[in-house]
């Protein structure tokens, strides 16, 4: 069984333990930045392919009997049927919680809740449906509900304020950790992927340094004030250095997945994360993976 599949299966297990089902919305993203909803849908299609006669499968992606058994063990619903009215209401209640906390719905498009829901994207979708007058999807009842929590259909977000809010999250991380070596899947208290935001600032800065005829006009322009603020918290503008560090992190992650698979295949419990981490660090020091006994 490949490491990538197993890693996402473990995340599906964690979702199942928390929610008691695998009714995961397609756009659901985990705290680790994994598009688990998309992955679950892919498994459903692979399952359908697995049911085809051998002659019809050809190069189609299929599931092994072991993978099917593992997914069914955590309540996989192969037909993927959902109550879409209930799903819309669930997102609305999340938007309502945001409104009650912030007194507005000026949610950045990339905003992700602590539960991994892309709420910013959902709000943008509602505005687009309203603009295109898709009343069969965005009914008058739904419009009234959204307006009851302050929805402004042609809202223009104060991007300077949004930038400062994101900078505050970066500053908080720097003060707590002494650096900006943010993990790829780190989600701030305000719901943004801080690693992605910082990389966008690096790309914008690099773009500004290019001659005018080579600049990418799609990139935002950082102000002198913004540059100084980022440098005050140790910003490293060198993308190559930053990416090199990221590659090292990915190597460690790959080694950890190899270790974790070996650990589980030997019948060990995966609930004690601290113990697993300690054993992994020990295995790195020994420069070899030893099969961990119970």
- Report yes or no on whether pTM surpasses 0.75: no
d(CA 30, CA 44) in angstroms, rounded, equals 19
- Degrees, nearest 5: CA angle 93-94-97: 85
SS3 203: helix
Q: Tens digit of pLDDT for each residue in 35-76?
A: 999 999 999 998 888 888 777 777 788 888 888 888 888 888
The DSSP secondary-structure symbol of 193 reads B
* Residues whose CB falls within 8 Å of the CB of residue 222, separated by 6 or more in sequence, listed in order: 201, 204, 205, 208, 230
Q: Tens digit of pLDDT for each residue in 240-288?
A: 655 566 666 667 777 777 777 777 777 777 777 777 777 777 777 665 5
SS3 239: helix
Structure tokens at 181: 């070596």
Structure tokens at 140: 């008058």
């Amino acid at each position: 069984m490949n490491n990538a599949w197993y890693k996402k299966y473990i995340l599906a297990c964690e979702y199942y333990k928390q929610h008691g089902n695998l009714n995961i919305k397609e756009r659901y993203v985990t705290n680790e930045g994994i598009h688990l909803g998309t992955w679950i849908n892919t498994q459903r299609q692979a399952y359908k392919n697995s049911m085809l006669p051998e002659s019809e499968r050809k190069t189609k992606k299929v599931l092994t009997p072991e993978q099917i058994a593992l997914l069914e063990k955590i309540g996989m619903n192969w037909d993927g049927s959902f109550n879409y009215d209930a799903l819309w209401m669930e997102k609305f209640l999340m938007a309502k919680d945001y409104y009650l906390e912030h007194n507005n719905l000026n949610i950045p498009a990339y905003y992700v809740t602590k539960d991994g829901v892309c709420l910013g994207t959902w709000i943008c979708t509602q505005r687009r449906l309203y603009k295109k007058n898709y009343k069969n999807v965005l009914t008058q009842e739904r419009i009234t509900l959204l307006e009851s929590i302050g929805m402004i259909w042609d809202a223009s977000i104060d991007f300077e304020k949004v930038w400062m809010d994101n900078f505050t999250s970066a500053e908080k991380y720097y003060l707590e950790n002494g650096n900006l070596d943010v993990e790829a899947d780190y989600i701030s208290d305000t719901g943004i992927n801080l690693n992605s935001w910082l990389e966008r600032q690096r790309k914008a800065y690099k773009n500004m340094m290019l001659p005018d005829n080579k600049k990418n006009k799609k990139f935002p322009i950082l102000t002198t004030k913004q540059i100084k603020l980022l440098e005050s918290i140790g910003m490293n503008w060198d993308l190559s250095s930053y990416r090199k560090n990221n590659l090292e992190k990915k190597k460690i992650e790959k080694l950890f997945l190899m270790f974790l698979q070996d650990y589980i295949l030997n019948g060990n419990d995966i609930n004690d994360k601290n113990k697993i981490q300690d054993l992994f660090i020990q295995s790195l020091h020994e420069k070899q993976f030893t099969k961990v006994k119970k």
